[in-house]
């Protein structure tokens, strides 16, 4: 295993970042650095817990590996599967995709917002990085819709009224898997060192759950996680240039 920085290396880094011999300035820099390291390490651990859960591993198995009780593991990590997503870091374009998912669900007479609705919603924002990655791999709105029709058929017209009522509320009825993706996008942003959540992070978050409808469709149509990462990195490098 690759060793992390030892205590002296960390202290030296903090002193250098502080750029001052003043003890209070160094303390402030230390607090900010440790806070950032804690958030990043928590996000990294959460990423691998998410992968294990998405692969069908039980909380008992996960807690055994982590060396904690099942209750402790569940309390620390289960929120990403159940908590109401926080959108404060979402870019306007990413928020527009999430809003479009509601319209996709409504058009299919579904009284819930699943990962399949979120995937179709990307095409409402053709300039989004995630959409560009999809199109670059010949994954079109038509091909995705055909796949969604097979895995999650539209509801009958009789369900339209129930869908309208559910989707018009202040708290949209996200499925567990969708809530997990929306939460996981923040972790993907942290992984890339970004302080915002873009559509690219949303796309990467699908792969935290291999059993989600959207993830299955992406893999079936030739966009696995490795390819998605490569496509996103290429677009980010191009944007930077």
pLDDT of res. 97: 97
pLDDT of res. 84: 59
pLDDT of res. 9: 83
Spell out the residues 6+ positions from residue 101 whose beta carbon is closer than 8 angstroms to its own. Answer: 113, 117, 118, 120, 121, 178
Residue 81 pLDDT greater than 60, yes or no: no
Alpha carbons 94 and 188: distance in angstroms, whole number? 14
Parse the chain into domains and list their residue ranges.
7-55, 92-240
Percent of the chain with pLDDT over 70: 88
pLDDT of res. 79: 57
* Torsions phi, psi for 6 (to 5 deg): -80, 175
CA distances from 219 to 5, 40, 116, 222 (A): 37, 28, 13, 5
Look up tokens 């893999």; give the residue: 219
Alpha carbons 30 and 21: distance in angstroms, whole number? 13
Alpha carbons 187 and 195: distance in angstroms, whole number? 10
* Six-digit token string for 34: 């440790």
Sign of CA dihedral 26, 30, 36, 41: positive
- The per-residue pLDDT of the chain, averaged, comes to 86
Q: Please name which of 29, 50, 98 lies closest in space to residue 210, comparing C-alpha atoms.
A: 50
29-43: buried (b, 16+ CB within 10 Å) or exposed (e) per residue? bbeeeeeeeeeeeeb
Dump pLDDT digits (tens) for 202-239: 999 999 888 899 999 999 999 999 999 999 999 999 88
* Six-digit token string for 23: 């003890």
12-28: buried (b, 16+ CB within 10 Å) or exposed (e) per residue? eebeeebeeeeeeebee
Confidence bin at 24 (pLDDT 50/70/90): confident
- Superfamily, domain 92-240: Clp, N-terminal domain (1.10.1780.10)
pLDDT of res. 83: 53
């Amino acid at each position: 295993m690759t060793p992390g920085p030892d205590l002296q290396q960390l202290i030296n880094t903090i002193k250098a970042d502080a750029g001052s011999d003043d003890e209070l300035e160094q303390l402030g820099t230390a607090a900010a650095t440790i806070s950032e390291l804690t958030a990043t390490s928590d996000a990294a651990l959460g990423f691998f817990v998410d992968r294990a859960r998405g692969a069908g591993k039980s909380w008992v198995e996960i807690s055994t590996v982590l060396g904690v009780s099942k209750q402790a593991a569940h309390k620390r990590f289960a929120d990403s599967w159940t908590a109401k997503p926080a959108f404060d870091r979402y870019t306007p374009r990413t928020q527009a995709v999430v809003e479009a998912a509601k319209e996709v669900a409504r058009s299919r007479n579904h009284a819930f917002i699943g990962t399949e609705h979120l995937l179709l919603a990307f095409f409402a924002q053709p300039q989004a990085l995630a959409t560009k990655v999809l199109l670059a791999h010949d994954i079109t709105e038509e091909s995705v819709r055909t796949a969604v029709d097979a895995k999650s058929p539209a509801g009958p017209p009789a369900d339209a009224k129930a869908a309208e009522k559910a989707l018009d509320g202040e708290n949209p009825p996200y499925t567990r898997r969708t809530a997990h993706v929306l939460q996981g996008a923040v972790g993907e942003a942290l992984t890339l060192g970004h302080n915002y959540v873009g559509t690219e992070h949303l796309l990467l978050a699908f792969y935290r759950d291999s059993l989600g409808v959207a993830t299955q469709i992406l893999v079936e149509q030739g966009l696995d996680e490795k390819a998605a990462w490569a496509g996103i990195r290429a677009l980010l490098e191009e944007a930077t240039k």
